[in-house]
Structure 1
Amino acid sequence: MNLLDRNSNAAILLAGICALIVGVGAARFAFTSLLPSMLADTLTLTFSGVLASVNYLGYLSGSIVSIVIKTNHSKVRLFRIGTVLCVLTTFILATTTHEVVWLVSRVIAGFGSAMALVVGSAIVMSKLNMTDKTKAMGIHFSGIGFSILITDLLSRLVFWVGGTWAQAWLAIAIVVALMTCYSIYILTFDDSKNQKSTATAIDMRMFTGFVLILIFAYFTEGLGMVVQGTFLPDIVNSLEGLQGFGGYAWTLVGVAGIPSCILWMRAAHKYGSINIIVVTMGLQVVGLLIPVITNNVYFNLLAGILFGGTFIALVALFMTLGGKLAGDKPVVLMGAITTAYGIGQVAGPLYSVALTDYFGSYNAALLLTATMVSLGAVLMFMNRNVLVER
């Protein structure tokens, strides 16, 4: 097994995982891990919600761009630009607290995150040398779990030696800079493939009724993901008697997320992607409702496990299903469904901070989010027989 061989499946998957740690860990979830510390020192809850939303606004713009990427050469170029932007914007958060600079950097980081996740995953799917890529893509998307766990552990290590949240950002930036170099080296196409690459035309016939339901369901999942993905540590810390447990809940998100993609993708291979999507969305609803119902420490740690064990797998399930439905143009439908996901991610933090400021707790935001995710799951369940998976 040569991990420097650009055509090795093992190298492709490792590079894809590294790209997700860069684009999803550093450019997105490190913010959640460090949020309690930054709230105590620098940020307000309202501004943190704005930062989360503009991050996903950048992610949304990147998703839209990914739909119209025409050649393999363009995919590789934008993937490289995106991952480098993720690294640079992480360094920025380590060196300044200027609010305007933070706002701009979070938008740019969001764009880079989309290039790493959407375009990077499309490159991985295209490069893998196997007939059925479902299980392999489960391994690839486990990188989202690793992205949470690795950035969280790096942050904890910095705090353990007496460092600050700014120094934690710096440590994360250095580590992901090294990972970026490897991903850029492996995730490219050889010259012959670039020369044969043709424009990716957007065939509107792929947007069938079921695909539109798929897109809407992924929008609701964007809401389900972003509320806990942005505020879970603070949600747990805000419950009576649970101050300080939010960080443990977030660590469990990453731990649960690592095997979740592999396990759920295997289940999808056996029982069908639609059925497994419905089940995982249902479990996510349970996790959303736990902090509303109880302040029991074990149940709220379970909420972290349910969140990590579902949302990462749902990214893999939706993205892989979209790629399969799109045939030889996976980036088009992947980009379309991710755009809907991104819209949900922009809206979620905004209504969450508004409802939380108004009611004085996260309960209303969690209830609204659970309702929307339930609606997406019900629509998928009602139309599960429409699709014959390819």
Structure 2
Amino acid sequence: MKSILNKKNNANIIVAGIFALIIGMGIARFAFTSLLPSMLENKLDISFAGLLASINYFGYLLGAIFAIFIKDVSLKVKFFRIGLFISFFSTIVLGLQTNDFVWIVSRFVAGFGSAMLMVVGSSLVMSRLNFEDKTKAMGIHFSGIGFSIVVTDILSRTVLNYSSWENAWIALSILSIILGAYSFYILDEQKNENFVKIKGKAFKIDSFVVVLIFTYFTVGIGFVVQGTFLPDIINSIEGLEGIGSNSWLLVGVAGVPSCIIWMRLASCYGSVNIILVCMVLLIVSILIPTFTSSLLLNLVSAFLYGATFIALVGLFLNLGGKIANSNPVFLMGALTSSYGIGQITAPLYSIALIKKYHNYDSTLYLTAFIMLLGVIVLYINKNKEKKYASN
């Protein structure tokens, strides 16, 4: 029992970080996607669903920007814990209230809490881990994003089989208490131990950093359309009605090992090279539903989506942490902010295009094109990564 409560143990730190990602990314964010088909039948229309998604991402964006300015370790711990509480309260209210305004407020604060657990929490994990090279360990940490989809989707499905989506939200809030208690305990401020005190020294923002920020913006756009609507996209394809929920579970299953695998490859072949491969595969996954109704190919699309978008989060944030090693939360926050702007933008143009054309094809085409711009810009500048190789 003492071993799992050891706050300096690397394995415990990683587990606490994964639990935090399950709460911040799974419960406060991705559970909405999992429960969306059921809520569309009983509570929401597609326009309001898109609005709620953008509101959630706006909260996430503000949280990421706010995280940039949290330099003191004790403050990081406090806001990380605030994120845990926010995620619980913003989740349980969805099961107890149906008022539209309450839902808008709830999704906004859930986004802020999610950023605290993702950006600040990942920074705490990176700082606490006692490894010389933390790339592989952070790959395991970011696999928690995949776990977050799998765990919340399975729990949501189980509750929906016997009850309502309202009770699914309540069950998710209970899970957040159980997992959050461990993260709250392990990721506290460790004085005079292996907790690295990050002073927040500024680093030079050069052209490569700007390229990374822009490219991650396009990845945010590439993530969010399927991240919000994937089950409904699959369900809207003739002959694939009812398959959407299964596709979302496949996304999570593919995502669990993706960070570990891709980040190991990144340590061998360079982060930017692997990022480019992942982005191209993500573009392929976005386009598949536009040209085929094949069950197999659309499941491949879901698999590729899960195997790439989660890894891209880990790859970008890990690279950002290495570039700004004096203050990883700063560049992590800047990257996440650009990602967040992309997430806010995509649901808004998606709603307009879906209403106009009554399908998802035009939305997916535009999303793939924007991501392609990111691929081109990063490819042109990829050799600039070499100067950070020693970091």
Native 8 Å contact 1:71 1:194 kept in 2? no
Question: Out of 236, 239, 243, which is 1:238 matched to?
Answer: 236
Counterpart of 2:364? 366
Question: Out of 260, 284, 287, which is 1:286 matched to?
Answer: 284
CA deviations on 1:13-49 (whole Å, 9 max, x unpaired) are 0000000000000100000000000001010000000
Q: Compute the displacement of 1:64 (Å).
A: 0.5
Native 8 Å contact 1:70 1:201 kept in 2? no
Counterpart of 1:133? 134
Counterpart residue type for residue 177 of structure 2: A
Residue 44 of structure 2: SS of its match in structure 1? coil
**RMSD, matched Cα:** 1.4
Residue 361 of structure 1: SS of its match in structure 2? coil
Native 8 Å contact 1:290 1:303 kept in 2? yes
The change in CA–CA distance for 1:127 and 1:198 in structure 2 (over 3 A counts) is: closer
Q: Compute the displacement of 1:178 (Å).
A: 0.8
The change in CA–CA distance for 1:353 and 1:112 in structure 2 (over 3 A counts) is: same
Q: Bigger shift: 192-201 or 373-382?
A: 192-201
Counterpart of 1:168? 168
Residue 289 of structure 1: SS of its match in structure 2? helix
Counterpart of 1:321? 319
Residue 244 of structure 1: SS of its match in structure 2? coil
Please give the alpha-carbon distance, in whole angstroms, between the structure 2 residues aligned to 1:18 and 1:27. Answer: 12
Q: Give matches, 1:1-390, under 5 Å.
A: 2-160=3-161, 162-192=162-192, 197=197, 199-203=199-203, 205=204, 207-388=205-386, 389=389, 390=391
Native 8 Å contact 1:278 1:378 kept in 2? no
Native 8 Å contact 1:222 1:345 kept in 2? yes
Q: Percent identity?
A: 53
Q: Compute the displacement of 1:197 (Å).
A: 4.5
Please give the alpha-carbon distance, in whole angstroms, between the structure 1 residues aligned to 2:332 and 2:197. Answer: 19
Native 8 Å contact 1:236 1:291 kept in 2? yes
Please give the alpha-carbon distance, in whole angstroms, between the structure 2 residues aligned to 1:124 and 1:195. Answer: 9
CA deviations on 1:191-240 (whole Å, 9 max, x unpaired) are 3369995752444x2x1100000000000000011100000000000011
Please give the alpha-carbon distance, in whole angstroms, between the structure 2 residues aligned to 1:209 and 1:290. Answer: 34
Native 8 Å contact 2:282 2:308 kept in 1? yes
Please give the alpha-carbon distance, in whole angstroms, between the structure 2 residues aligned to 1:196 and 1:338. Answer: 22
Q: Compute the displacement of 1:353 (Å).
A: 1.0
| Count of residues in Structure 1 that have an aligned counterpart in Structure 2 | 387
**Structure 1: runs of 5+ lacking an equivalent:** none
Counterpart residue type for residue 244 of structure 1: G
Native 8 Å contact 1:73 1:194 kept in 2? no
Native 8 Å contact 2:225 2:364 kept in 1? yes
TM-score, normalising length: structure 1: 0.97
Please give the alpha-carbon distance, in whole angstroms, between the structure 2 residues aligned to 1:21 and 1:195. Answer: 23
Please give the alpha-carbon distance, in whole angstroms, between the structure 1 residues aligned to 2:287 and 2:126. Answer: 35
Native 8 Å contact 2:128 2:196 kept in 1? no
Counterpart residue type for residue 75 of structure 1: K
Native 8 Å contact 1:261 1:313 kept in 2? yes
Please give the alpha-carbon distance, in whole angstroms, between the structure 2 residues aligned to 1:16 and 1:198. Answer: 19
Q: Compute the displacement of 1:2 (Å).
A: 1.8
Please give the alpha-carbon distance, in whole angstroms, between the structure 2 residues aligned to 1:210 and 1:193. Answer: 34
CA deviations on 1:264-316 (whole Å, 9 max, x unpaired) are 01100111100000000000000000000111111111111010000000000
Q: Compute the displacement of 1:189 (Å).
A: 2.3
After superposing on structure 2, the runs of 4+ consecutive aligned residues of structure 1 that deviate more than 3 Å are 192-199
Q: Compute the displacement of 1:159 (Å).
A: 1.7
Native 8 Å contact 1:72 1:194 kept in 2? no
Native 8 Å contact 1:287 1:302 kept in 2? yes
Please give the alpha-carbon distance, in whole angstroms, between the structure 2 residues aligned to 1:91 and 1:35. Answer: 16
Please give the alpha-carbon distance, in whole angstroms, between the structure 2 residues aligned to 1:146 and 1:194. Answer: 27
Residue 387 of structure 1: SS of its match in structure 2? helix
Please give the alpha-carbon distance, in whole angstroms, between the structure 2 residues aligned to 1:386 and 1:115. Answer: 30
TM-score, normalising length: structure 2: 0.97
